[in-house]
Amino acid sequence: MQHPETQADEVQNEERRKLLKCMAWAGAGVLWTMKGGVLQAQTLADGAAAPGAGADFSFVQISDSHIGFHLEANPNVLGTLQEAIDHINALAARPAFVLHTGDVSHLSKPEQFDTAQQAFKGIKTDAMFFTPGEHDTLGDDGAEFFKRFGKGSSGKGWYSFDYRGVHCVGLVNVFGFKQGSMTSLGDEQLAWVEKDLKPLSASTPIVVFAHIPLWTVYQPWGWGTDDAAKLYTHLRRFGSVTVLNGHIHQIQQKIEGNMTFYTARGTAYPQPQPGAAPNPGPLTVPAGQLGSYLGLREVRQVSVKGPLAVTDTSLAIS
């Protein structure tokens, strides 16, 4: 039998060990580079790649801010969004633009969008681009969301833009929910994508972003898009395709030919890994560790002909 005090000490030490391990990982950060279709990781700590070094330009992806959420997993989602913004503003290279891949709000309420919009105004960047999450389109098909964040979009919120030779396509996959299956893009949007990409040469780097993963991360939880394969038929001819999504509040990645898929951490709360719990949902992590599960992503366009370099930064880095 252990003395209760000793036991308590041990539990505390174990927690401390876990925390230190976590902080070491988070504090180091990971830089993802892609070479010949192979993803390579290196720590930022070794100084081999200072953020922004040698890049033509960079941009940042943030996601899943869930303004309005207030439960145990994160009672201060505005605070953690603000932390993400502080990280963006502290980057060595000012990002050309910031993408938000959806779930700005938790319940599509005007005041939640207003609070988020106010916070976004503090980001030091030239432009922001958005795509809605399913939490942004509750009850009004996204009317309040698009009023604030949907400028220049067509159809049900999709659009594209070009930045220094890179073609960026914002897609919407939160209107195609059908009973018992994953969401979809829909034929109207897919036809638009085909037309949008048609004039481009195969050497144009393509960035596609949408809220829900455009590849099947975990079908039983609806973490995928039913008709994504139809989208791939329009993307396959391009030499460099980077697909960025949110929704699942964690980093997952996959390479398929010239297409590389990434999901981002959220700024609000983590979710379990696919199948690691009976169901998805807000994950409450030990006190002091939340920042390690939240974060933002910096994408550096190293050269127009080469692959993009992707760096994920957790909020635990200070």
Partner 1 sequence: MRSSSSGMMSLALLGLILALGTSSATLAADAAPAADPAHEVVILSYKFGPDVLTVPAGTTVTWINRDEVPHTVASSDKRFTSSPALDTGDHYSYTFTTPGTYTYFCTLHPFMVGKVIVEAPKASTPTATPGAR
Sheet holding 252-256, edge to edge: 159-163, 166-170, 206-209, 241-245, 259-263, 252-256
Residues 148, 126: Cα–Cα separation, whole Å? 17
At 84, give phi and psi (nearest 5°). -60, -40
Cβ proximity of 310 and 298 under 8 Å = yes
Greatest Cα-to-Cα distance within the chain, rounded to the nearest angstrom:
74
CB of 293 to partner 1, least distance (A): 16
CB of 190 to partner 1, least distance (A): 20
Instruction: List contacts with partner 1 (CB under 8 A).
Output: 70-73, 106-109, 111, 134-135, 138-139, 177-183, 220-222, 278-282
Residue 226 or 298: the one with the smaller Cβ distance to partner 1 is: 226
Helix (H) / strand (E) containing 235 = helix 228-235
CB of 286 to partner 1, least distance (A): 18
Residue 29 or 224: the one with the smaller Cβ distance to partner 1 is: 224
Tell me which residue of 293, 311, 292, 266 sits closest to 135, measured CA to CA.
Answer: 266
Residue 134 or 298: the one with the smaller Cβ distance to partner 1 is: 134
CB of 245 to partner 1, least distance (A): 17
Residue 65 or 260: the one with the smaller Cβ distance to partner 1 is: 65
- Helix, strand, or coil here: 147? helix
Residue 94 or 109: the one with the smaller Cβ distance to partner 1 is: 109
**Tokens at residue 299, please?**
């994408």
CB of 274 to partner 1, least distance (A): 13
CB of 250 to partner 1, least distance (A): 16
Cβ proximity of 219 and 226 under 8 Å = no
**Tokens at residue 63, please?**
């996601």
CB of 177 to partner 1, least distance (A): 5
Residue 73 or 91: the one with the smaller Cβ distance to partner 1 is: 73
Residue 52 or 110: the one with the smaller Cβ distance to partner 1 is: 110
In sequence order, what are the residues at sequence separation of 6 or more whose Cβ sits closer than 8 angstroms to the Cβ of residue 172? 131, 132, 155, 156, 157, 158, 185, 189, 210, 211
CA 195 to chain CA mean position, Å: 26
